[in-house]
């Protein structure tokens, strides 16, 4: 028996056991579904959904993300374009540009690629987007609706996390879920959806949710993670989630994406979890990249089509 236990441990360490969640494949399947729906929608004589992204400056990561959104739009049949503005643009001129798009009846969805330059007030910019065109769900009214369990545009990253949990088939009712990271656009909406009551206009996942953040004591983070059935991490701290913090069979959803330089001097993107190590402990794990990211883009497509259908309903109610 003395020999068996370390051998078991050793074999667990050497043998990856987690099921790897293929975000690219899941995203492609979702987008194919949306594409079919939009085809039917347009064939039935409705207006094709239209999305505009506003990109301020030329941050390489932001450019990459906007491009991914444009490619996805083209694939699903959403008319899309990027409004590129100089990083020196004033707050006032940026608001004017947003209002132009707000007043354009052909446009259903507007997003401002974040982050914006330091001299721009991000909160004001998010609130400048028409509530019904706010496909990112960052307008203060839409955040309020989310917290009040009302139907709204749920931020795409949180929708992606919820959708992945549903597709994997993880039961959340009364289960322990730990969210690492408390950003307003990612950690907070995920936390909100996880703990909310399912008997609502916006059904929640009924988990016992715990929110950890930069001031959570390291030993508390370990304790909460060890107790968790689901760990959702969105901190941008590579290696934050280590194998000893993961309950055997737990589900890890890794939202982190950080560009690092490897010891060999190569640049690459990594998530928050010690991926190789956690493979041997977790039951399910999303790789980063290739996990939550692609599904996030698919959820933006879903939100844009939703905005389009909402406007269509508004127009027919006015008739």
Helix (H) or strand (E) holding 69: helix 60-76
Beta bridge partners of 245: none
DSSP label at residue 247: -
By beta-carbon proximity to ligand BQF, the closer residue of 209 and 295 is 295
**List of residues 6+ apart from 225 with CB closer than 8 A:** 178, 180, 212, 231, 241, 245, 246, 247
Beta carbon nearer to ligand BQF, 177 or 257: 257
For position 303 contacting ligand BQF by CB under 6 A, the verdict is no
- Per annotation, catalytic residue among 113, 145, 254, 274: 113
Using an 8 Å Cβ cutoff, are 134 and 142 in contact?
A: yes
String marking each residue 266-295 x if it binds ligand BQF according to CB under 6 A: -----------------------xx--xx-
SS3 of 207, please?
A: coil
Nearest distance in Å: CB 209, ligand BQF: 22
Question: Is 113 designated active site?
Answer: yes
Beta pairing, strands 258-261 & 267-270: antiparallel
In whole angstroms, the minimum distance from the beta carbon of 236 to ligand BQF comes to 8
The CB-of-12 to ligand BQF minimum distance in angstroms stands at 28
Structure tokens at 231: 């760990």
Of the candidate residues 28, 63, 114, 222, the single one contacting ligand BQF (CB under 6 A): 114
Q: According to CB under 6 A, which one of 68, 84, 130, 242 is a site residue for ligand BQF?
A: 68
Number of residues that bind ligand BQF (CB under 6 A): 11
Q: Which of 319, 304, 317 is nearest to 51 (CA)?
A: 304
Residues that bind ligand BQF (CB under 6 A): 65, 68, 113-114, 257, 289-290, 293-294, 296-297
């Amino acid at each position: 028996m003395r020999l068996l236990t370390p051998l078991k441990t050793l074999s667990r360490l050497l043998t990856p056991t987690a099921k790897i969640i293929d975000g690219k494949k899941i995203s492609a399947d979702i987008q194919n579904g949306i594409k079919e729906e939009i085809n039917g929608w347009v064939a039935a004589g409705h207006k094709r959904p239209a999305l505009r992204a506003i990109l301020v400056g030329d941050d390489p990561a932001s450019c990459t993300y906007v491009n991914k959104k444009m490619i996805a739009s083209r694939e699903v049949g959403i008319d899309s374009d990027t409004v590129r503005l100089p990083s020196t643009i004033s707050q006032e001129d940026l608001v004017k540009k947003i209002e132009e798009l707000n007043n354009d009846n052909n446009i259903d969805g507007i997003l401002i690629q974040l982050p914006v330059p330091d001299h721009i007030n991000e909160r004001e910019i998010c609130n400048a987007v028409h509530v019904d065109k706010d496909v990112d769900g960052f307008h203060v009214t839409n955040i309020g609706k989310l917290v009040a369990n009302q139907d709204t545009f749920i931020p795409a990253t949180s929708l992606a996390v919820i959708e992945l949990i549903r597709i994997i088939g993880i039961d959340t009712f009364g289960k322990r879920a730990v969210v690492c990271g408390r950003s307003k656009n990612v950690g907070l909406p995920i936390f909100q959806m996880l703990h909310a009551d399912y008997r609502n206009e916006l059904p929640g996942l009924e988990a016992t949710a715990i929110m950890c953040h930069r001031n959570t004591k390291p030993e508390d983070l370990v304790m909460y993670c060890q107790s968790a059935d689901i760990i959702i991490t969105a901190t941008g701290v590579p290696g934050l989630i280590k194998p000893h913090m993961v309950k055997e069979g737990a589900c890890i959803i890794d939202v982190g994406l950080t560009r690092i330089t490897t010891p060999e001097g190569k640049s690459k993107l990594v998530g928050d979890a010690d991926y190789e190590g956690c493979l041997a402990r977790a039951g399910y794990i999303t790789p980063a990249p290739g996990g939550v990211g692609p599904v996030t883009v698919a959820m933006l497509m879903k939100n844009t089509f939703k905005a389009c259908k909402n406007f269509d309903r508004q127009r027919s109610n006015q008739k």
